[in-house]
Chain A
Amino acid sequence: MHSNKYFGSYYPVDSFIHKINPVIKLVALFLLLIPIIGSMELKLHVVMLFFTVMLLYSSKVPLRFYFNMLYGIRYLFILLLFLLASRGLDLETAVIVLLKIVILIEYLSLIFYTTSPNELKYGIEKSLSPFNFLSLNLGKFANVVVNIITFFPLLFVTEQKVLKSASMRGLDYYNQDILSKIYVASSSLKNTFRLTFERIKEEKFASTLRMYNVSKHRTNLSTNKINFNGIFLLLIHLIFVAYYIYERGLL
């Protein structure tokens, strides 16, 4: 029961991936996008998928958390296959497109499970800092992006809490069939949304109490380390990009 309480929010263990500097993770994501968008070669995608699964395994987050989401949207995949087939694309292309989506989803889940909201804010700010000359308010932008990203996991976590409290007082979610489950979940939605917004406000207030200020400079105790883990990750990604460039004939 309640196998995944985290729904894509930060999973608090220490692993190879957790120790990587968030800026490096975001750069690696960007590097990954190059072959994902451009390449149409099956071998490369299979190797990238294998590599991503290795990363998932080394993140010490239980693997079923990663596969739950894929399992949840399996119908969408089948729909997609039919759509592509109706456009006359052959099986190999369809499989490649599927692999692209799977790799991207799992890679993003990896980043969200292993990077806390603070680290994400730091990562987005620092990786966009070359654009500082445009005098945009990068701190606020990073805040907004991270708030959007963490909203849905927080919503699901709050929903779990509300369902548990409601089941203690008669509206049981866990011992029912699927239709009743849907009824229970939807009738708690109003309270869930309200509580999620209240929680977001509380967390924002807690950080202002501890002197968080978007426009002021913050130092970091441990986040800005560049270690072997990060360099290793970047190297592998560079190899993929290099292979893609070679495959395309040094375009």
Chain B
Amino acid sequence: MVIKFDNVTYKENIMTPLEKTYIKNLSLIINENKITSFIGDSESGIYKLGDLINASSYVTSGKIKVLNYINDGRTIKKVNILRMNVGLVKLNKDEMLFNKTVKDELEFGIKYFKYKTEKKSVRVPDALKLVGLTSDYLEKNIKDLTLSEIRKVSLASVLIFNPSIIIIEEPTYGLQNKDREDLKKLLTMLKTKYNKTIILLTKDTDFIYGLTDEVFIMNKGSIVSHGGKELLENEDLINTYNLKAPEIIRFINYANKKNANLTYTSNILDLIKEVYRNAF
């Protein structure tokens, strides 16, 4: 158990006319060395979870225990070590990137985390390589980059510290198919080879089916369902919460209504072989 939520409620703009509750009485446990996904629509509050876990937002009530730190609304001592170990990649680049060039952005935290700065010349190009960018991106201005380059730079600026927990909001937004496949391979490698804990906050069920170990479905600030990837095969459940099931599941469900008896799989080639066998 590496992250524990204990009856957490999160509200913004408290005691003003604009008060809004995003997370209600949430209790959950996220396990180590696994890829956990939170899925939900825009009203579900999933985009606030990342800030709560790395303590850049404080809980309104309840308690979050991350590694050895507790976020219960009070000041946290030595919070930098927590932040270095929990990397958060936000969907909106304006909430995350603020330097002029890619080089400044990647080198920013190294100075302040007092991390092994003598390895700066190695860490920065390595981080870019992990996400698939070459070193000539270092001199480019962030506002001149395309969307997919910005998302890759955001991920690199988090991976550069080698955090043990990596949280990504909408990992596939802005990325083309090849980049998505590369990201899938990267996340799997980070989990198995480097023992990292990965948390994905997304609506994209196609990407996580076949990648994730655990799934939490959120609706209006609370967890409504929790399980393994077989949760994504329950199309009725997914549709109730304003989400779309993976395309492959939708096809299999239509086919099984006609008694095709296909088994759930995330690989299209296996599916085709089974269809071929069953149709004759």
> Residues of A with Cβ closer than 8 Å to B?
1, 5, 12-13, 60, 62, 161-162, 164-172, 174-175, 188, 191, 194-195, 198
Query: Which residues from chain B contact A195 at a C-beta distance below 8 Å?
Result: 98
- Majority SS of interface residues in chain A? loop
> Residues of B with Cβ closer than 8 Å to A?
13, 15-18, 54, 56, 58, 75-77, 79-80, 83-84, 88, 94-100, 108-109, 111-113, 143, 157
Contact flag A191-B17 (CB < 8 Å), given A169-B112, A175-B75: no
A4 to chain B, nearest CB (A): 10
A-B contact pairs, 14 of them (CB 8 A): A62-B16, A161-B95, A165-B97, A166-B108, A168-B54, A168-B88, A170-B111, A170-B112, A170-B113, A171-B108, A171-B109, A172-B80, A172-B83, A188-B98
Q: How far is the CA of A5 from the CA of B13 in the complex (A)?
A: 9
Query: Which residues from chain A contact B56 at a C-beta distance below 8 Å?
Result: 164, 167-168
Query: Which residues from chain B contact A1 at a C-beta distance below 8 Å?
Result: 58
Query: Which residues from chain B contact A13 at a C-beta distance below 8 Å?
Result: 17-18
Contact of B99 among A172, A174, A191 (CB under 8 A): A191
B182 to chain A, nearest CB (A): 24
Contact flag A168-B83 (CB < 8 Å), given A162-B98, A191-B98: yes
Check B100–A194 contact: CB distance below 8 A: yes
Check B98–A165 contact: CB distance below 8 A: yes
Measured CB to CB, the nearest residue on chain A to B160 is: A169
Check A161–B112 contact: CB distance below 8 A: no
Query: Which residues from chain B contact A165 at a C-beta distance below 8 Å?
Result: 95-98
Query: Which residues from chain A contact B84 at a C-beta distance below 8 Å?
Result: 170
B207 to chain A, nearest CB (A): 24
Measured CB to CB, the nearest residue on chain B to A4 is: B16
A190 to chain B, nearest CB (A): 9
Check A169–B157 contact: CB distance below 8 A: yes
Check A171–B112 contact: CB distance below 8 A: yes
Check A161–B108 contact: CB distance below 8 A: no
Enumerate the 7 nearest inter-chain pairs by beta-carbon distance, A residue then B residue, closest first: A170-B112, A169-B109, A170-B113, A170-B109, A171-B112, A13-B17, A62-B16
B212 to chain A, nearest CB (A): 24
Query: Which residues from chain B contact A161 at a C-beta distance below 8 Å?
Result: 94-95, 98
Query: Which residues from chain A contact B100 at a C-beta distance below 8 Å?
Result: 191, 194
Query: Which residues from chain A contact B18 at a C-beta distance below 8 Å?
Result: 12-13
Q: How far is the CA of A122 from the CA of B146 in the complex (A)?
A: 37
Measured CB to CB, the nearest residue on chain A to B115 is: A170
Check A175–B98 contact: CB distance below 8 A: no
Query: Which residues from chain A contact B96 at a C-beta distance below 8 Å?
Result: 165, 168
Measured CB to CB, the nearest residue on chain A to B96 is: A165
Check B76–A175 contact: CB distance below 8 A: yes
Check A170–B83 contact: CB distance below 8 A: yes
Measured CB to CB, the nearest residue on chain B to A5 is: B13
Query: Which residues from chain B contact A188 at a C-beta distance below 8 Å?
Result: 98
Query: Which residues from chain B contact A162 at a C-beta distance below 8 Å?
Result: 98
Measured CB to CB, the nearest residue on chain B to A11 is: B18
B238 to chain A, nearest CB (A): 31
**Apart from the given pairs A161-B95, A165-B98, A170-B80, 20 other A-B contacts in the complex at a CB distance below 8 Å:** A1-B58, A60-B17, A62-B15, A62-B17, A161-B98, A165-B97, A167-B56, A167-B83, A168-B56, A169-B108, A169-B157, A170-B108, A170-B109, A170-B112, A170-B113, A171-B109, A171-B112, A175-B76, A175-B77, A188-B98
